[in-house]
Amino acid sequence: MAFEASRPRLLPHTDPVAAPVLAPGHLDALWFQVTGTLCNLRCAHCFLSCAPENEAFGLLSVEEIRARLEESVPLGVREYYFTGGEPFLHPRIVEILSLALSYGPTTVLTNGTLLRPRHVEPLAAAAAASPWSLEFRLSLDGFDADSNDPLRGAGSFERAMDGFELLLRHGFLPIVTIVRTWDPDAEPAVYGRFVAELAARGCTRPRIKTMPALRIGCEAERIGGYRDYERVTNEMLEEYDLDQLVCAHSRVVTDRGIWVCPILLDAPDGDLGDDLGEAAAAPYALAHGACHTCWMHGAICANPGAAAPEIGARAIEVAIGAIESTASAGGSA
């Protein structure tokens, strides 16, 4: 009974066309918008329009982060995520991540281009000394410079892969996060190219998380925003696993207060105030187009699991075989 009471649920209301209102369950994950919307890149599809000059949200101080970590303990938070912007723009990011590792499993989302030994070496030591895991999620959007750099900027692919290889050398197994910007029919071939590229860089256990595009921010300008009918309805949530929605069990710390989720920072109704306990329990109407994407794909912000070694090795063999077959067919045409 106690477990069921902690599950998210829909609040009843009489208007059949109104957005469903979600009453969250247990607060499992706490996100930190550690560098706000400041980023060293200017990605053409960024749903927060992060950029070097975007100061809509600013840096969090170490003191604020420490206070929120302490506040999260009696609420039973189980894991912590640090995002931006680009977290490695923060001058004290190593100290921040090391601090978080004393509270629970910690993940940092990065584009990888700013990673240096001065970051990775002390973080490897902190992770080795902690009972909790430190995960790196590294963003790419193409398996080579030709496919990645038009979205992320000239030279970003090789700089990101330098960061990826640096993490590998220090014992980390990064999760490569890619936003699906290609035709769905090309998915197997594109995925195979990513696996092969990571293998060529020395990764024998590839961890790849493919995410849907969120058509807000820069992405809305690039390809268009959500249509009016792309909204979540009460009927769509019948027999749906509400735990698949990040707002059902997560909240985000920003320099402007607590927000409902990492995606809706530009939504005025995403601001849930300054009290973490109250924000954790606050109901939220799933009224945005991005909520529809979360409903369709589920758990888009969660970390994937690591493949078993034999699965990773087999994936590499299949990917390389497919690429070689394609090359042979092209050569004989």
CA distance 36 to 246: 19
Q: Can you give the pLDDT at residue 18?
A: 85
User: Are residues 258 and 252 in contact, defined by beta-carbon separation less than 8 angstroms?
Assistant: yes
pLDDT tier at 283 (50, 70, 90 boundaries)?
very high
79: left (phi over 0), alpha (psi -120 to 50) or beta: beta
With a cut of 90, say whether residue 12 has pLDDT above it: no
pLDDT in tens, 224-257: 999 999 999 999 999 999 999 999 999 999 999 9
pLDDT tier at 1 (50, 70, 90 boundaries)?
very low
Residue predicted with more confidence, 262 or 321: 262
Tell me the mean pLDDT in the region 103-120: 98
With a cut of 70, say whether residue 35 has pLDDT above it: yes
pTM: 0.89
Q: Can you give the pLDDT at residue 15?
A: 74
Q: Is 212 exposed, middle or buried (0-12, 13-18, 19+ CB in 10 A)?
A: middle
Report the candidate in 147, 131, 226 with the shortest Cα–Cα distance to residue 190: 147
pLDDT in tens, 152-176: 999 999 999 999 999 999 999 999 9
What tokens were used for 286? Answer: 């799933």
Q: Please list the alpha-helical segments (H only) found in the chain.
A: 2-5, 62-72, 93-100, 117-129, 145-152, 156-169, 187-200, 218-223, 276-281, 289-297, 309-332
pLDDT in tens, 184-233: 899 899 999 999 999 999 999 999 999 999 999 999 999 999 999 999 99
Residue 294 three-state SS: helix
CA distance 34 to 126: 19
Q: What is the CATH number of domain 25-332?
A: 3.20.20.70
pLDDT in tens, 15-24: 767 899 999 9
Average pLDDT, the chain: 90
Give Cα 241 to chain centroid, integer Å.
20
Q: Can you give the pLDDT at residue 3?
A: 45
